[in-house]
């Protein structure tokens, strides 16, 4: 039986322990931010680094908890110089950590959409919020065609770049392309098209004949997703100005040649789409991240709160956890409604440190 003197210490420990555990159970509701198209998150060393399209520059957020994204540290990372081929319409920035350096990938042009191409920045600082960002130049395949929404990933020790592009020099259809990388900013060889819009749900959104879809064909925003021995590419389909904007799925089959278009199998239906019941419209241009302790898989994406809001400033940032089927396929479920309480990404290591602190305090 504890002595009278030790009872207060027991109560102190109890309250410290329960207090720290309660603090660790952070929650959030969607949207995480009221605006922010093309959201991207990377998690490293307990920090979440977040960015999105501003259209004019690159801004980076840093936080230990995405539930606090609205109040996270924020910094202007890079402002392009005037009068260049990459001075305007900066879209879909992504931050990656490759060979102990940070890289930002983004699409930009000189004010004319036909000139959109992919570009890269490099930073050797351990913290991407610090150090100097160096412009590395354009990332282009030998054919050097229109390109947006670039992303990179490593598979079996080889780095690849994927993006949305035109086959020729005129607008009309956006396809998904892939190429090998010699280094983080240099393409090795030419591009290979691995996805074209073939299903009706990929083809909604003709600007000139909105009453009679489908007409325009769009595949964009490709993102690699690796799970155990499986590789997927999740992409956005149909015009972002329509409520039919949704996510499609490509699966790498038994042939591990990523540059062989026949190696990729397309799902016949979208894997993440508008939920009229939950009032979440046109979910798309996502990215994926792990919880800080590596135990959970999360998707972050933009969507609208009302029908017909299109591609303007109404697109807000949202996130939710997803799971996997017995066959190893991603199960994204339905976009959760605004205001629904969601537990923040898990961080069991942080919780353990908090409990250890409570024990020391006792």
pLDDT for 106 beyond 90: yes
Q: How large is the average pLDDT for residues 232-237?
A: 98
In angstroms, the CA 81 to CA 13 distance is: 57
Q: How large is the average pLDDT for residues 191-219?
A: 81
**Least confident span in 16-20, 253-257, 346-350:** 16-20
For 289-320, the pLDDT digits (tens) are 999 999 999 999 999 999 999 998 999 999 99
95-113 in b/e form (b: 16+ CB < 10 A) is bbeeeebbbbbbbbbbeee
pLDDT for 9 beyond 90: no
In angstroms, the CA 86 to CA 81 distance is: 8
Percent of the chain with pLDDT over 90: 83
Q: How large is the average pLDDT for residues 230-258?
A: 95
For 19-63, the pLDDT digits (tens) are 444 444 499 999 999 999 999 999 999 999 999 999 999 999 999
pTM for the model stands at 0.89
Give the number of other CB atoms < 10 A from CB of residue 24: 18
Confidence of residue 212 (pLDDT cuts 50, 70, 90): low
pLDDT for 334 beyond 60: yes
Q: Which helix (H) or strand (E) holds 284?
A: strand 281-290
Annotation marks residue 38 as catalytic? yes
- More confident call, 23 vs 122: 122
pLDDT confidence of residue 205: 83
Mean pLDDT, all residues of the chain: 90
152 CB-near residues (< 8 Å, 6+ apart): 94, 96, 98, 103, 105, 159, 160, 161, 162, 181, 184
pLDDT confidence of residue 117: 98
Query: Could you say which of 149, 202, 220, 347 is catalytic?
Result: 220
CATH number for the region 28-343 comes to: 2.115.10.20
pLDDT confidence of residue 171: 87
Q: How large is the average pLDDT for residues 254-278?
A: 95
DSSP track, 172-215: SEEEEEEEEEEETTEEEEEEEEEE---SGGGS---TT-TTS---
pLDDT confidence of residue 335: 98
Annotation marks residue 220 as catalytic? yes
């Amino acid at each position: 039986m504890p002595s009278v003197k030790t009872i207060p210490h027991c109560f102190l420990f109890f309250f410290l322990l329960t207090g720290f555990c309660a603090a660790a159970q952070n929650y959030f509701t969607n949207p995480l931010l009221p605006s922010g198209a093309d959201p991207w998150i990377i998690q490293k060393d307990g920090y979440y680094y977040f960015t999105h399209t501003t259209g004019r520059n690159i801004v980076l957020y840093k936080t230990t908890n995405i539930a606090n994204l609205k109040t996270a540290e924020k910094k202007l990372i890079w402002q392009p110089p005037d009068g260049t081929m990459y001075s305007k319409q900066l879209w879909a920035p992504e931050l990656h950590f490759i060979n102990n350096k940070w890289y930002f990938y983004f699409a930009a042009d000189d004010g004319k959409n036909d000139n959109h191409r992919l570009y890269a920045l490099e930073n050797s600082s351990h913290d991407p919020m610090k150090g100097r960002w160096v412009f590395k130049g354009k990332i282009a395949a030998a054919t050097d065609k229109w390109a947006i929404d670039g992303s990179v990933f490593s598979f079996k020790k080889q780095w690849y770049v994927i993006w949305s592009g035109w086959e020729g020099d005129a607008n009309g259809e956006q396809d998904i392309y892939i190429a090998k990388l010699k280094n983080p900013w240099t393409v090795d060889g030419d591009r290979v098209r691995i996805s074209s819009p073939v299903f009706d749900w990929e083809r909604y959104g003709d600007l000139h004949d909105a009453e009679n879809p489908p007409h325009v064909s769009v595949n964009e925003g490709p993102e690699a997703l690796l799970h155990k021995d499986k590789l997927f590419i999740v992409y956005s389909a149909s015009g972002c100005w329509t409520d039919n904007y949704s996510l499609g799925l490509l699966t790498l089959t038994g042939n591990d040649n990523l540059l062989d278009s026949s190696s990729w199998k397309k799902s016949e239906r979208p894997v993440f789409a508008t939920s009229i019941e939950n009032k979440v419209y046109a979910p798309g241009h996502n990215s994926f991240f792990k919880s800080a302790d590596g135990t959970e898989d999360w998707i972050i994406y933009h969507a609208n709160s009302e029908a017909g809001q299109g591609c303007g400033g109404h697109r807000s940032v949202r996130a939710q956890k997803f799971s996997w089927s017995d066959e190893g396929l991603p199960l994204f479920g339905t976009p959760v409604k605004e205001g629904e309480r969601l537990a923040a990404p898990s961080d069991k290591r942080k919780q353990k440190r908090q409990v250890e602190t409570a024990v020391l305090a006792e």
